[in-house]
Structure 1
């Protein structure tokens, strides 16, 4: 999910550990609601329906449990252009669809690069990439899409946590090429778990702070990360939910101007209640339990249903509502439902 915060004081406080992700996400509910319903931040991502056949031309180990894939066109044709912050929707050989940030050079048309951390307790997408894809494998991608646009600013602070370096790396290179005043703070469990350290070492060392938890004992607070901000900087942050939440809470006390953030995981379902979805075009009815999204359940009967961010922001999965009352938990028109995050009261009829 991508978002934008201005440096104004929100009515939030730090959450303590355990009951952990729920509590942290609950703290930012008010700010997220404002973000999702404020269309001034930036327009929804336009759906990109083209299928791009891609050839895996190289698989490279970048860190513990992290590999990068170099992706080229099978016929050698130039690939569609992209800007920093963009991602691909990758259709894996077994049918799973996953989103991966482009982390190469935006000016390079001959290949794309993505990086994937293996998640042993994930839902299988990362394991499939690590275990099944080899040099010579073929996949289909859709995009590139950009829900995390990189704005022009005189100064930047980039904050990346672990695999969150992937959308940040092209931004850092672009800021450096523009001659902007920039700093990068890169956190992770250990140096061995943090990809692309070699590439970052080739940048200006005075502007880069590598902060592994193993060398500092505890994860960094938001205030500690923001200490490195140039005056009036645009802050770009990507990583785990606790890190982003800490930065958002402490932003008003920093010298930064704005915060632009993206997280890879879907937000926890808070106060979820079961409801029923009727699919008008197919005539099927599905039951959505309290702890699952409508997108997850609908995807089991309609695997082709489009989606991208899975967090209510981009607009790809918004569906017209024909009947029923929607609990809007995403940025959608009143007559549409963001099926990845929004819920319904009782029964809802969708144009699917």
Structure 2
């Protein structure tokens, strides 16, 4: 695994280079000048990029913008290294396409965990792409394992940036599994939706998850970025396709008044209908900067009251049947990812 490092501070560059060299199977490609690194493109071959934020000539965001003019680097995960904790700075980096951050001074154990996870994500995506191009010879089970790994790595990376939001996704995924099982859906689907729904609101952090850290209302551009990200990927029936399908459809309404496509009734895929209930319920019982958490029973009654308008009435019945299990999930201190269940 080759890791590009761009940092104009030679001390920091040596430190990051040394850290990469300590990682099994990773080799550094260091540059002290962002201009020199850009001049070497597109001949450079690397799987992950570590970029300093504050640099002369090109800062990290400007460098990344220039780097992405080369199509071959479009899918490369980018980690920013910065001493700036300002949210605006981090939003600029996310807008440009960063997937994660490391804060100076960099702790090696944190560096190791984050970079190895991102490197493994890049490798899993590469192997999955190669397997898809290989067609039937790859084997369905092999593809499934690669997709499980990709989803797990994305979830871990998102959790580094915002642990609270990561737990929200774990709860929504667990609620979705409980609703699906109460609705009598096949056991394989119940397990699959638990995995796929972990990405319900940033369906490919493979792409920029700009709005992940935003506080307040999403703009239409934010929403379209998220839902269009979910359209990427292969056309086979797969966990990644299920994640994409959920991301595109969980904001639709049963009465056809949702978005982005105003789908109605069973034209909305069942996974989207389930996650619509699970995500709405969790939003009600969760405290946010702009609202208090609702009491559990009040939230349950509200969701039930939206049958036929917002939600599928048959799935609302399943929600009611699973409400005891949902309560246990809601009040748990932490909710596991559920990857062991696949």
Mark yes or no: TM-score above 0.5: no
Q: Kindly indicate which of the two structures has a greater share of residues assigned to helix.
A: 2
Q: Kindly indicate which of the two structures has a greater share of residues assigned to strand.
A: 1
TM-score normalized with structure 1 length: 0.23
TM-score normalized with structure 2 length: 0.24
Give the structure with higher Rg (CA). 2
